[in-house]
Amino acid sequence: MRNPLRRRGVPPDPTGDGPPGPVPPEHPALRVANDQAGHALRAPSRLHAFNRYEIKYVMPYAVVPELREALARRLDLDAYAAGGGYGVWSVYYDTPDLRFYWEKIEGLRFRRKLRLRHYGDRFRIDDDSPVFVEIKQRVNRVTQKRRVELPYRLARDLCDRRMAVDHDPGQGAFLDEVLDLLCRLDLRAVAMTGYQREAFIGRDAGSGLRVTIDHRVRGRDRDFHLGADVENRLIVPARLAVVELKADEGVPRWLTDLTAQMNMSVVRVSKYCQSVEAFGRAPRSIFHVADDDAGALVPAANRSEA
């Protein structure tokens, strides 16, 4: 389906394997003409870095037990997911005109986002709690994630106060890139998401296969301290779960067969975009997961095919 929000005039990437070409300055929400240096991939040293393919689905949570049982026959439960899973909390940074949001909505072949992420109980977080500063980017169909682990106080100094922070050897180039993005693009916290995650991992250590099931997807648009004792609002209906398949090379045939047997349809859902739209920061796009009874099981972009 054609995206009615797509802006015209974005030059195609003739090589198919890099960032899009410069965009005329009259496109203020993109402004990529002078930003290619920040987009450049750097060879990380002691960073957590990987490339992978990701496929997302939305399904009724009532069917998750059946999916869980089928996955358990071929995959192992992530050690951190025992006892009902674990919390994942993320603060997303964007420009005043939500450039990263629009890059996702418009489906740019090269796009990215900056976030600060914590795993576990957010009410136990303090200044010394480990968090990850991440740049997650998409190059054509491949997702690339680079991240470093920092104490929460240093992560806030970097991302919120735009201060250079102490770091381990090998992390300097990445942290310089993050600081450059924050200052040059005037990034600030704009949305927070949180959810409960169950994760399954491939038994073949070399496969990189991982399946995650996220439910009770919540968010907020203010009070962005990860441990703040404030209310979060559901941004995806509680009766739905977001399922994601992640693999280094390709998703095995048995898993794609399973998604077909369970009538799971591929969707372009983004928890960050879902939060932005849920709080009225941008109009609801055709990819928004609806909270009305008629469309609850199918994202808006897929309703005409449902």
Write the pLDDT tens digit of every residue in 205-241: 656 899 999 999 999 999 999 999 999 999 999 999 9
Beta bridge partners of 51: 144
Q: Which amino acid is residue 274, in one-letter code?
A: Q
Position 22 pLDDT exceeds 70: no
Mean pLDDT value of segment 118-131 = 95
pLDDT of residue 305: 32
pLDDT band at 49 (very low <50, low <70, confident <90, very high): low
Distance of CA 273 to the CA centre of its chain: 9
- Assign 39 to helix, strand or coil: helix
Mean pLDDT value of segment 120-135 = 95
Position 19 pLDDT exceeds 50: no
| Domain containing residue 98: CATH number | 3.20.100.30
User: Does 40 fall in a domain?
Assistant: no
Q: What is the pLDDT of residues 248-305, one digit of tens each?
A: 878 899 999 999 999 998 998 999 999 999 999 999 999 999 875 333 344 444 433 3
For the purposes of burial, counting CB atoms within 10 Å of the CB of 246, is it exposed (0-12), middle (13-18) or buried (19 or more)? Answer: buried
> Domain total for the chain?
1
How far is residue 287's CA from residue 34's CA, in Å, rounded to a whole number?
Answer: 29
pLDDT of residue 7: 37
User: Does 6 fall in a domain?
Assistant: no
- Helix ranges (H only) for 10-150 are 36-39, 64-72, 99-105
User: Does 143 fall in a domain?
Assistant: yes
- More confident: 21 or 230: 230
pLDDT of residue 23: 32
User: Does 27 fall in a domain?
Assistant: no
Q: What is the mean pLDDT of the chain?
A: 81
User: Does 214 fall in a domain?
Assistant: yes
CA distances from 178 to 38, 113, 115, 150, 208 (A): 9, 11, 10, 13, 27
Sign for the CA dihedral angle at 26, 30, 32, 34 comes to positive
138-176: burial string, b at 16+ Cβ within 10 Å, e else: bbeeeeebbbbebbbebbbbbbbeeeebebeeebeebbe
Position 44 pLDDT exceeds 70: no
Q: Which amino acid is residue 128, in one-letter code?
A: D
The answer for residues whose C-beta is within 8 angstroms of residue 44's C-beta and 6 or more apart is 146, 170, 173, 174
262-294: burial string, b at 16+ Cβ within 10 Å, e else: eebeebbbbbbbbbbbbbeebeebbbbbbeeee
Q: What is the pLDDT of residues 148-180, one digit of tens each?
A: 999 999 999 999 999 999 888 889 999 999 999
pLDDT of residue 205: 60
Q: Which domain holds residue 160?
A: 50-305
User: Does 29 fall in a domain?
Assistant: no
pTM: 0.80
Give the H or E element holding residue 240.
strand 240-247
User: Does 23 fall in a domain?
Assistant: no
User: Does 216 fall in a domain?
Assistant: yes
pLDDT of residue 275: 97
- Assign 248 to helix, strand or coil: coil
